């Protein structure tokens, strides 16, 4: 099955789309990355102490092979598989499922939108032997310097 066929037959449920949007949305002033995965909590006590506490929505993603669990190194994280990345790219490309302005960082990471290039600062051509000061500015600077007597 080719990648476009996977995206057509396997799609995220509404609950899964909401979970993904929450995990990839801005967290305070931090823009999360798809490559960093989704951090999940662990059980603190009981028979499952120290084991990952996988949310129900994420369980469905794991069972369908769209995400994989990586318990080590600490903390445990969920990462998208190749098939999951194809479906995520399809979801992020659709404006109904993910706002392009809110998820611009994800769209750029997935290669949907181009990465904005920083413009180079514009400089005037240098004139050898000439000052960049205006004559009036030079007089103001010289007038403000105290003269030694």
pLDDT tens readout for residues 34-65: 999 999 988 898 898 888 989 999 999 999 99
* Core vs surface per residue 11-26: b (16+ CB within 10 A) or e: ebeeebbebbbebbee
Give the pLDDT confidence of 69-112 residue by residue, as tens digits.
998 888 999 999 999 999 999 999 999 999 999 999 999 999 88
pTM of the model: 0.68
Residue 132 has pLDDT above 60, yes or no: no
H-state helical runs in the chain = 3-9, 14-24, 56-63, 82-93, 104-109, 135-144
Of all helices (H) and strands (E), which one includes residue 148? none
Residue 116 has pLDDT above 80, yes or no: no
Say which residue the tokens 């789309």 belong to.
17
- When pLDDT is cut at 50, 70 and 90, the band that residue 16 belongs to is very high
State what percent of residues in the chain have pLDDT above 90: 44
Cα separation, 55 vs 119, in Å, equals 43
Q: Which two tokens stand for residue 50?
A: 């120290």
Task: Give the three-state DSSP class for 130.
Answer: coil
pLDDT at residue number 114: 81
CATH number attached to the domain at 3-109: 1.10.10
Residue 10 has pLDDT above 90, yes or no: no
Say which residue the tokens 């318990």 belong to.
71
pLDDT at residue number 123: 65
Task: Give the three-state DSSP class for 72.
Answer: coil
Q: What is the Cα 40 distance to its own chain's centre?
A: 18
Residue 139 has pLDDT above 70, yes or no: no
Q: For residue 86, how many C-alpha atoms fall within 13 Å in the half-sphere facing its CB?
A: 16
Task: Give the closest residue to 12 by CA, choosing from 74, 120, 86, 71.
Answer: 86
* Domain chopping of the chain, boundaries: 3-109
Regarding predicted confidence, which is higher, 147 or 29? 29
Q: Which two tokens stand for residue 37?
A: 């995965």
pLDDT at residue number 68: 94
Q: For strand 67-70 and strand 38-39, is the pairing parallel, antiparallel, or unpaired?
A: unpaired
- When pLDDT is cut at 50, 70 and 90, the band that residue 5 belongs to is very low
């Amino acid at each position: 099955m080719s990648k476009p066929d996977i995206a057509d037959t396997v799609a995220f449920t509404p609950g899964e789309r909401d979970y993904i949007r929450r995990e990839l949305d801005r967290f305070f002033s931090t823009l999360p990355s798809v490559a960093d995965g989704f951090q999940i909590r662990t059980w603190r006590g009981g028979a499952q102490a120290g084991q990952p506490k996988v949310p129900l929505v994420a369980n469905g993603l794991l069972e369908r092979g769209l995400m994989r669990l990586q318990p080590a190194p600490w903390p445990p994280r969920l990462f998208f598989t190749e098939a999951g990345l194809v479906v995520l790219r399809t979801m992020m490309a659709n404006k109904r499922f993910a706002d392009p302005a809110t998820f611009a960082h994800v769209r750029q990471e997935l290669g949907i939108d181009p990465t904005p290039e920083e413009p180079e600062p514009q400089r005037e051509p240098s004139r050898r032997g000439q000052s960049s000061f205006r004559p009036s500015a030079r007089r103001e600077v010289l007038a403000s310097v105290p003269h030694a007597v």
